[in-house]
Amino acid sequence: MIHGFRGICEMTITFESPITAITGLNGAGKSSVAQISLCAYKKPFKEKNCNRYYVRDFFPVSVVDPSPISDDARVAYRYETEHPLQPQDLTVSRATTEWSGYKRQPERRAYYVGFTVYIPKVERRDLSIYRASGITLGGRREIPDNVKKFFASIVGSAYDDVSFQDVKHKLQSAEIGIVSRFGHNYSENNMGFGEGRILYTIDMLESSPEKSLFVLEEPETSLHENAQHAFSKYLLDVCNRRGHQIILTTHSPTIVQALPQESSKLLVRDRDGVTCYSGLSSARVRAALSGGRQAALDIVVEDDFAKCVLQEAIRKSDRTLLQSVAIHPIGSADDVRDGVEILKKMGKKCVGVRDGDKNADAAQKLFKLPGSSPPEKEVFLNKQVQDALRSRYSIEVCDVLAANPDSDHHDWVEILSREAMTDPAHLSAVAADTYVTGIGVGSFVDLIDELKRSC
pLDDT in tens, 14-53: 999 999 999 999 999 999 999 999 999 999 988 888 899 9
Look at residues 281, 299, 316 and name the one whose alpha carbon lies nearest to residue 444.
316
Residue 113's φ and ψ, nearest 5 degrees, are: -105, 80
- Which residue among 374, 397, 424 closes a domain? 374
Name, of 124-133, 176-185, 285-294, 441-450, the range with top average pLDDT: 441-450
Residue 171 forms part of a structural domain: yes
**Rounded distance between C-alpha atoms, residue 166 and residue 139, angstroms:** 5
Buried b (16+ CB within 10 A) or exposed e, 403-418: eeeeeebeebbebbbe
| 11 and 88 inside one domain | yes
| 138 and 9 inside one domain | no
Residue 72 forms part of a structural domain: yes
**Rounded distance between C-alpha atoms, residue 442 and residue 455, angstroms:** 20
C-alpha dihedral, 247 to 248 to 252 to 255, nearest 10°: -50
For 411, the domain range is: 376-439
| 248 and 298 inside one domain | no
Contact between 296 and 324 (Cβ < 8 Å): yes
| 84 and 23 inside one domain | yes
**Rounded distance between C-alpha atoms, residue 58 and residue 274, angstroms:** 18
| 366 and 382 inside one domain | no
pLDDT in tens, 45-82: 888 888 999 998 999 888 888 888 888 999 999 999 88
Residue 196 forms part of a structural domain: no
**Rounded distance between C-alpha atoms, residue 452 and residue 247, angstroms:** 25
For the residues 206-231, what does the mean pLDDT come to? 94
Count of other CB atoms within 10 angstroms of residue 386: 18
Give the per-residue pLDDT at 373: 96
| 108 and 224 inside one domain | yes
**Rounded distance between C-alpha atoms, residue 278 and residue 292, angstroms:** 19
Cβ within 8 Å of residue 295, ≥6 positions away: 287, 324, 325, 326
| 300 and 361 inside one domain | yes
Which contacts (CB < 8 Å, 24+ apart) does range 364-373 have? 364/337, 364/340, 365/340, 365/454, 366/336, 366/337, 366/340, 367/447, 367/450, 368/447, 369/306, 369/309, 369/310, 369/447, 370/439, 370/443, 370/444, 370/447
Look at residues 115, 133, 251, 84 and name the one whose alpha carbon lies nearest to residue 196.
115
For the residues 369-384, what does the mean pLDDT come to? 97
Judge whether residue 444 has pLDDT over 80: yes
**For the chain, what is the mean pLDDT?**
89
Residue 283 forms part of a structural domain: no
| 101 and 152 inside one domain | no
Count of other CB atoms within 10 angstroms of residue 97: 6
What CATH number does the domain containing 52 carry?
3.40.50.300
**Rounded distance between C-alpha atoms, residue 276 and residue 7, angstroms:** 13
| 178 and 126 inside one domain | yes
Residue 445 forms part of a structural domain: no
Contact between 336 and 369 (Cβ < 8 Å): no
Residue 351 forms part of a structural domain: yes
| 104 and 242 inside one domain | yes
Query: Residue 161 carries which DSSP code?
Result: E
| 272 and 339 inside one domain | no
| 13 and 130 inside one domain | no
- Which residue among 321, 356, 374 closes a domain? 374
- Which residue among 343, 374, 405 closes a domain? 374
Look at residues 271, 330, 262, 333 and name the one whose alpha carbon lies nearest to residue 299.
330
Judge whether residue 366 has pLDDT over 90: yes
Count of other CB atoms within 10 angstroms of residue 184: 9
Does the predicted model carry a pTM greater than 0.85?
A: no
Residue 200 forms part of a structural domain: no
Counted domains in the chain = 4
Residue 448 forms part of a structural domain: no
Look at residues 155, 4, 17 and name the one whose alpha carbon lies nearest to residue 74.
4
Give the per-residue pLDDT at 127: 47
pLDDT in tens, 128-183: 444 555 667 777 888 888 888 888 899 888 888 888 877 776 767 777 888 888 88
